[in-house]
Amino acid sequence: MDLEISGNGAVVTGGASGIGRAAARELAREGARVVLWDLADSVDGVAQQIAVDHGVEAVGVRVDVTDAESVAAALQSTLSALGAIDHLVHAAAIGSGKFGFPFTNLRPEDWIKTLNVNILGMVQVAHAVAPTMLERGRGTMVFVSSVAGQIGSQTDPPYSASKAANINFAQCMAKDLAPHGIRVNTVCPGMVQTALNRGVWQAWHDRQPPDKRRSYEDWAGEKIRNVIPMGSWQTAEDIADMIVFLSSRRSGQVTGQTINVDGGFVMHW
């Protein structure tokens, strides 16, 4: 199936690792030119490797998505490289690093950084990129949320609440931008072996007495058996496949949707 994105320009935030890196790779595999936005120093090296592997233009840009000036500078660098932005994939996010069950384990100040990155970071990026798409009358945006944003995951309430906000804001944007030919959707991963997922385990582990602690493999394995009907991890590539499809012309009538790639974790009964 030709997804008809070859030669298009795509921005992927959080592109240096995890789901963002997988999305950038899959977009490049389909022939898209990609610019990776990330705070990590490794972003240049990841972009260079994508360029080598897939024979497309790939550029790394260091950016703090919570800082308006940093985002504005990244946008200008991106437009210089791509000429135009056809697709935005926003995967940049963090967890609180705290085990939040019950939520009274947390203090109000434990929420600030997570909400700033996960909500206001999305806001900064959306406000920067949307006008460039409005000028051209086309574009796609895919925001990476989480099943935690739908079920109220107790393990990290700041993360869970921020992911619910991602879904809601994406729906607001979808309604505003649809008349202008711009589609906005959200993808919600289930259990994916990323640094963020491991951080949830670490926060839980550190609060347990020594006799209650379990390895990451045991902890996550039991959770998968209990909550994933298909009984297995989802991979970053599984999520990336959906992101690329939603960015393509093959999903031309899909907007304002929240798509779970979760092995059946969230079923709305």
CATH number at residue 73: 3.40.50.720
Would 39 be classed as within a structural domain? yes
pLDDT at 201 over 90: no
Tell me if 199 is assigned to some domain: no
In a domain, 121, yes or no: yes
Name the active-site residue from 159, 169, 201, 219: 159
What is the C-alpha to C-alpha distance for residues 28 and 87, in angstroms, rounded to an integer? 12
Spatial distance between the Cα atoms of 265 and 103, rounded to a whole number of angstroms: 22
Structure tokens at 247: 């960015």
Rounded mean pLDDT, 192-212:
87
Dump strand ranges (E) for 223-262. Answer: 258-261
- What is the tally of structural domains in the chain? 1
Q: Has residue 83 been placed in a domain?
A: yes
CB 257 within 8 A of CB 184: no
Confidence of residue 176 (pLDDT cuts 50, 70, 90): very high
Encode burial over 146-177: b for 16+ CB neighbours within 10 A, e otherwise.
bbbbbeebebbbbbbbbbbbbbebbbebbeeb
Active site residue 216: no
CA 217, CA 201: separation in Å to the nearest integer?
Answer: 10
152: its two tokens: 């109220």
Distance CA 25, CA 21 (A): 6
CA–CA–CA angle 81, 61, 250 (5° rounding): 65
In this prediction the pTM is 0.94
Average pLDDT value over all residues in the chain: 95
**Residue 210 domain-assigned?**
no
Task: State the average pLDDT over residues 123-144.
Answer: 98
Beta bridge partners of 9: 33
User: How far is the C-alpha of 236 from the C-alpha of 228, rounded, in Å?
Assistant: 16
Does residue 268 have a pLDDT over 90? no
Average pLDDT over residues 70-99: 97
As a whole number, mean pLDDT of residues 132-156 equals: 96
User: What is the pLDDT at residue 51?
Assistant: 98
Q: Contact, 141 vs 88, CB < 8 A?
A: yes
Q: How confident is the model at residue 200 (pLDDT cuts 50, 70, 90)?
A: confident
Q: What is the mean pLDDT of residues 225-253?
A: 96
In this prediction, residue 215 has a pLDDT band, given cuts at 50, 70 and 90, of very high
The residue count for the chain? 269
Of the chain, the percentage scoring pLDDT greater than 90 comes to 84
Please indicate, yes or no, if residue 87 is contained in any of the structural domains.
yes
| Model confidence at 269: pLDDT above 70 | no
Three-class DSSP category at 185? strand
How many CB atoms lie under 10 A from the CB of residue 117? Answer: 19
- Are the C-beta atoms of residues 147 and 234 closer than 8 Å to each other? no
DSSP 256: S
pLDDT digits (tens, 9 = 90+) for 97-132: 998 889 999 999 999 999 999 999 999 999 999 999
- What pLDDT is recorded for position 135? 97
Structure tokens at 171: 């729906």
Please tell me the distance from the alpha carbon of residue 242 to that of residue 156, in angstroms, as a whole number: 25
Which residue, chain included where needed, has tokens 């309430």?
157
Instruction: Provide the residue range defining the domain that includes 179.
Output: 9-191+236-261
Residue 208 domain flag? no
185 has a pLDDT exceeding 80: yes
225 φ, ψ (degrees, to nearest 5): -65, -35
Is the torsion defined by CA of 226, 228, 232, 235 positive or negative?
Answer: negative
- Give every CB contact of residue 227 below 8 A, 6+ residues apart in sequence: 191, 265
Q: Does the pLDDT value for residue 45 go beyond 60?
A: yes
Q: Is there a domain that residue 47 lies in?
A: yes
Average pLDDT of the segment spanning 50-65: 98
